[in-house]
Chains A and B, each alone.
Chain A
Amino acid sequence: MAQLILNHLTKDFGAKGPGEGGPAVSDVSLTLRKQGFLALLGPSGCGKTTVLRMIAGFEQPTDGSIEFGECRLSDAVRVLPPEKRNMAMVFQSYALWPHMTVAENVGYPLKVRRISGEAWRSRVAEALSLVRLTAYADRRPSALSGGQRQRVALARCLVQQPDIVLLDEPLANLDQHLRKAMEETFRAFHERSGATMIYVTHDQAEAMALATDVAVMSEGKLLQVAPPADIYARPEGRVVGSLIGRGAIVRLRLPEKAGRQLDWPLLQAALAGRRSGHGHAGEGPLSDVLIRPEQVHPDSGGMPMRVLSSVFEGERSALTLALPDGQSLKAYSNKAFCHGTEVPFVISGGWRL
């Protein structure tokens, strides 16, 4: 199967009103690994859906191009119509046709490809059994629940054996525990179909759980692409750092020669130096440092910090702590703390953004 390449992709809808000056998507370049599962992550309005719709062929780029292997799908001059792309999409609204039964919905891509009779029946039955909806084949979509509709939409993607499957916030309309079950279905679907999948979401937990690669977008620009574990451990810049995972970003003076992975002695020196205003660690330029809550532990040998809040979350408590200089920090703890108490903590690591 060929690779999907986005080449300096740009989309400008023209000035739409105050606060929407720049292009919706600006200079996005990206090469998808074969049979990869890419999560396109970003806050709403960051242009991720526009990228997806350009890949599908619903929008034409104003600049740049989209290639699939040797074949150019879109550029500013020509667009291969969506119906000729062999892509499939799961829409946020599922987009099931209300006047067709479940089986007719699933089998429509085959019908358009002039597959009928026994071949049609067996492939529809196979797709439906994969999403465990065989018993619902003759129902109308209106008689199904949200999760079932979602699975019909997925079966419709599966049946046409697409090269690329696009998913536009497919879990946004489902409740929490259905989401977990559907994530499992998506993973199975990806393994089975072998298609390249692109998944648009604003939920970073979803993106981490599903994807082989996570791409973070903000204000139309692509900020970073990396596998989930990499992007969690080594985010590039403040925006990615605050979008991926939980954590606090503190500003510290660090020596120039310090690397990006910071350890406790260095952090301790920086914090202490900042407090006292001298010492070699507290002298470099100000840097943003991301500190994950799981890197902050209560330790009698640590630095005293004041507990601002302690919220019980079930498996543990989430704490908000105040550093001596007033910046705040997040931490997890198995033990609840009283508001306002001073407790010593150790920061086992940090990442300079």
Chain B
Amino acid sequence: MSGVGEPAWLLAFVCGAVFLLSVLPLIHLGWAGLKGLEGGEAASVLLEAATFAALRNTLVAAAGGMVISLVVGALFAFVVALTDIRGKLALSFAFMLPMMIPPQVTALAWVEMSGPSSPLLKTLGLAPPLGSPQPLYSLAGIALLLGVQHAPLVFLAIKAGLATHPRDGVEAARLSGASPWRVFRDIVLPLACPALIAGGAIAFISGIGNFGIPAILGIPASIETLPTLIFAKFASFGSSTFGEIAVLSTIIASISAGGLLLQQRALKGRDYRLIGLTGARAAFTLGRLRIAVETLLWGTLALVLVAPLLALVASSLVPAYGVPLTLHTVSLQAYGEVLFRQTVTLTALKNSVFLASAAAVGLLVIALPAGYLLAARRGRVANLLAILIEIPYALPGIVLAVAFILAFAAPLPVIGVSIYGTIWIILAAYLSSFFAVSLKPVMSAFLQMDPSLEEAARLAGAGFLRRMRDVLLPLVAPAAGASVILVFLIAANELTVSALLWSAGTQTLGVAIFNLDDSGSSNLASALSVLVVAVVIGLMATLEVLAKYLPEGVLPWRN
């Protein structure tokens, strides 16, 4: 399409939004990092033993998590995409849940499931004796949970990769006389290789930036990772803090960028142009093995998803820490506390609902014109804009939070008021971080729309705003709805960004759960977490109901 179509203000509007949300904070981060290194004082943080330990811990935990994610995610993806097992949609939905559940809740649930004080184990009489160590408070524990949390990313990458496989390629191999196992080894696996690499890289990068899991599991055992180290430095605010956290953030950002580059290099020359009938899945019939495979998958899900969530529910039903759950001790007191009595949790609920709704609706207002523009106009400007929108989402939350602190700590020009310490800085960071989340469904709706629908409206005489209102918006409405729900879902559960940006009165749900657990009120933290998980499942189910009105590939668990 030529550039004749859209009015000039559209490009200016989108560029302005991208500048404020992406470019400005990134410039501040880069600038502060440079200045910190130059001044020497902040650069000394690089030589501290704690930094080295944190760097090592981060890399080990992220690598371990990646291996676990790859094994579990690939198993589920291959089985769901290639075989004739039953209940695929339910399996996919359940398997995707860990990705949507906030990491600190996952960590909390696993802690409640294992260890000496687990109400669930106590009730079942399986709890280890009091005083024995909690096995999850270790680097291995962090890696395990990172693996569980990010396995859905690998699952998605491989499933998406396999979905584009030509079925006739597999059928031709079968006719050539290859056994199912040979076909898998010789045809499917090589073709799935790019997706495996991509999935592994995403899992690794997500592990590097994860804050919730090492915060809950690492801090009690004094195991620091780079994100928790930044958090600790920030908590003990000193004169060189800004420089130090800028330098540390730069390290995280470079490891992430390095991971992405490595992935791109590995993928080079592996772009197998697929020819033939795609879309239809290549099905292997499992026969008598089917029931065994189904048992394996649902058993794994029971272990990594159902059991921790049950433990979480159990902990939320006991009146105090360490009490076993029996018919006599069960009480809803914790729910009463978090929902009606504790002002901290009530404020957090209110803040999170406000932040999530404002981010979701505000981003829609930006994402609609941006999606239209990027879909209509391809070329260098559009590519650059797309990359700039993607960067804050790809950056670990802790780095983005630091960038926003650096950009907005000083009073705003012109009005002379600082938004630092208010809820608005969290909102600004959310807008930046989730722009890409909001844009994706809207943009794919615009891309999948037949351009002649808009052209017909133009010839009918409708100007830009007119055809936007009468033709384009009604057609992208379902995708816009999905965009709002997805952003709400992610923003309401967010911890990492708000952990650095909150202050008294502006705590979010994620922060409240973290603080409650930190102060030993594990039953209140559990109750709040159970509520959060319930809302997550509810919103995901709503999207599932909407699914048939949405463009392909908008819902992460359905592709």
Contact = CB atoms under 8 A, between A and B. Distances in A.
Interface in B450-465: 450, 452-453, 455-463
A85 B474 CA distance: 25
Contacts of A60: 2, 4
A89 B470 CA distance: 19
Given A58-B455, A82-B455, A97-B471, A160 B460 contact: yes
B4 A89 contact: no
A68 B456 CA distance: 20
Interface string A58-87: 111000000000000000000101111111
B458 A81 contact: yes
A135 to B, nearest CB: 23
Contact of B4 (A81, A86, A88, A98): A81
A89 B462 contact: no
A93 interface: yes
Given A58-B1, A83-B458, A97 B453 contact: yes
A169 B2 CA distance: 21
Contact of B463 (A83, A91, A93): A83
A30 to B, nearest CB: 21
Contact of A91 (B1, B452, B475): B452
B86 interface: no
Contacts of A89: 455-456, 459
A85 B4 contact: no
Among A87, A91, A96, A98, which residue has the most Cβ atoms of chain B within 10 A? A91
A57 interface: yes
Given A58-B4, A60-B2, A160-B461, A91 B470 contact: no
Contacts of A160: 460-461
Contacts of B182: none
A15 interface: no
A91 B452 CA distance: 7
A93 B449 CA distance: 12
Given A79-B4, A81-B4, A108 B475 contact: no
Nearest to A74: B4
Contacts of B456: 89, 91, 95-97, 156
Contact of A59 (B4, B450, B453, B458): B4
A141 to B, nearest CB: 11
Contacts of A57: 4, 458
Contact of B450 (A58, A87, A93): A93
Contacts of B450: 93, 95
A83 B7 CA distance: 13
Interface string B342-367: 00000000000000000000000000
Contacts of A88: 459-460
A113 interface: yes
Contacts, number: 73
Given A97-B471, A99-B474, A83 B452 contact: no
A98 B2 contact: no
A60 B470 CA distance: 25
A112 B457 CA distance: 9
Interface string A93-117: 1011111000000001101110000
B453 A99 contact: no
A83 B455 contact: no
B452 A109 contact: no
B378 interface: no
Interface residues of B, number: 21
How big is the A interface, by class?
Answer: 20 to 34
B76 to A, nearest CB: 36
A111 B462 CA distance: 9
Q: Which among B1, B458, B471, B474 has the greatest number of chain A C-beta atoms within 10 A?
A: B458
Contacts of B458: 57-58, 81-83
A93 B474 CA distance: 19
A99 B460 contact: no
Contact of B461 (A83, A93, A96): A83
Contacts of A96: 456
A331 to B, nearest CB: 41
A130 B457 CA distance: 22
Contacts of B460: 83, 88, 108-109, 112, 156, 160
A56 interface: yes
Point out which of A59, A83, A96, A99 has the most chain B C-beta atoms below 10 A from its C-beta. A83
A85 B457 CA distance: 12
A188 B458 CA distance: 26
A298 to B, nearest CB: 48
A83 B4 contact: no
Nearest to A105: B456
A17 to B, nearest CB: 14
B466 interface: yes
A250 B532 CA distance: 81
B466 A56 contact: no
Most buried by A among B4, B5, B474, B475: B4
A89 B452 CA distance: 10
B463 A58 contact: no
A112 B459 CA distance: 11
A108 B457 contact: yes
Contacts of A87: 459
A109 B461 contact: yes
B475 A99 contact: yes
Nearest to A153: B456
A108 B458 CA distance: 11
A95 B452 contact: yes
A112 B475 contact: no
Interface in B270-309: none
Interface string A36-62: 000000000000000000001111100
Contacts of B455: 56, 58, 82, 89, 91, 95
Contacts of A86: 461
Interface in A203-254: none
B376 to A, nearest CB: 11
Contact of B470 (A84, A85, A92, A108): A108
Interface string B460-504: 111100100011001100000000000000000000000000000
Contacts of B474: 97, 99
A81 B459 CA distance: 9
A82 to B, nearest CB: 4
A231 to B, nearest CB: 29
Nearest to A59: B2
A96 to B, nearest CB: 8
B459 A85 contact: yes
A97 B4 CA distance: 22
B459 A82 contact: yes
Nearest to A159: B460
A88 B462 CA distance: 12
Nearest to A108: B460
B465 to A, nearest CB: 11
A101 to B, nearest CB: 13
Contacts of A98: 475
A118 B452 CA distance: 29
Nearest to A11: B2
A55 B471 CA distance: 23
Contacts of B462: 83, 108, 112
A187 B148 CA distance: 66
B175 to A, nearest CB: 33
Nearest to B471: A97
Nearest to A56: B459
A103 to B, nearest CB: 14
A113 B462 CA distance: 9
Given A83-B462, A95-B453, A97-B457, 4 more contacts: A57-B4, A88-B459, A108-B470, A156-B460
16 contacts: A57-B458, A58-B2, A58-B4, A58-B455, A79-B4, A83-B460, A88-B460, A89-B456, A89-B459, A95-B455, A108-B460, A108-B462, A111-B470, A112-B460, A113-B461, A160-B460
Interface of B: 1-2, 4-5, 450, 452-453, 455-463, 466, 470-471, 474-475
What 5 pairs between A and B have smallest CB-CB spacing? A95-B452, A95-B456, A109-B460, A91-B452, A82-B458
